[in-house]
Amino acid sequence: MFLGLFGIPRWVSSPSNVSNIVLSPTFWPYVLTVLTGLIALGLLLAGWRMTDTQPVEQEEYQKQDSKMASWLRLIALAVLMGLTMFALPRLGMVWTAMLMFVATASLFNTRHPLIATVCAVVIPLILYLFFAHVAGVAIPQGEFVRLP
């Protein structure tokens, strides 16, 4: 909500003469903001509808174990975010996105590691091809690796 009402209008500059709305610098941040909000609502509703089916004696142990695992994942995610900021100028946006996608998928123990790996490679490449070659928007390249 912060992004949609304050962050995007204040910090994303957009020229008024963009002929296609899809190429506007504010379009995709708004789309991602709305999609993130809808996903958050869906997760809240799914959590609200879940029923408790575990026995009482196992529940306390699993709560403690779950809390510790949650904190460790949160710390690992913060480290990944720091590594992302370190890697962006060196590897560029596309390669960094690929590596961080795989790292995040493995951090959260995805049930489909092969699909996650394929998505980690294909999605950033398709986005790069669209923005760099169709929309004419420069995508940040790294110092060590450059895409055509």
Asked whether the beta carbons of 101 and 113 are under 8 A apart, the reply is no
Which of 9, 24, 49 represents a domain boundary (last residue)? 49
- Regarding whether 88 and 45 lie in a shared domain, the answer is no
Q: Is 91 exposed, middle or buried (0-12, 13-18, 19+ CB in 10 A)?
A: buried
SS3 of residue 79 by DSSP: helix
In a domain, 75, yes or no: yes
- Regarding whether 127 and 95 lie in a shared domain, the answer is yes
Residues 6+ apart with CB under 8 A from 18: 24, 25
In a domain, 23, yes or no: yes
**Model pTM score:** 0.64
Residues 6+ apart with CB under 8 A from 87: 95, 96, 99, 100
Q: How many domains does the chain have?
A: 2
Residue 120 CB neighbour total at 10 angstroms: 19
In a domain, 44, yes or no: yes
Residue 98 CB neighbour total at 10 angstroms: 19
- Regarding whether 128 and 72 lie in a shared domain, the answer is yes
Owning domain of residue 129: 65-137
In a domain, 114, yes or no: yes
In a domain, 90, yes or no: yes
Instruction: Write out the chain's pLDDT in tens, 148 residues.
Output: 788 888 888 888 777 787 777 778 888 889 999 999 999 999 888 878 876 555 555 555 556 667 788 889 989 999 999 999 999 989 999 999 999 999 999 998 889 999 999 999 999 999 999 888 887 888 888 887 777 7
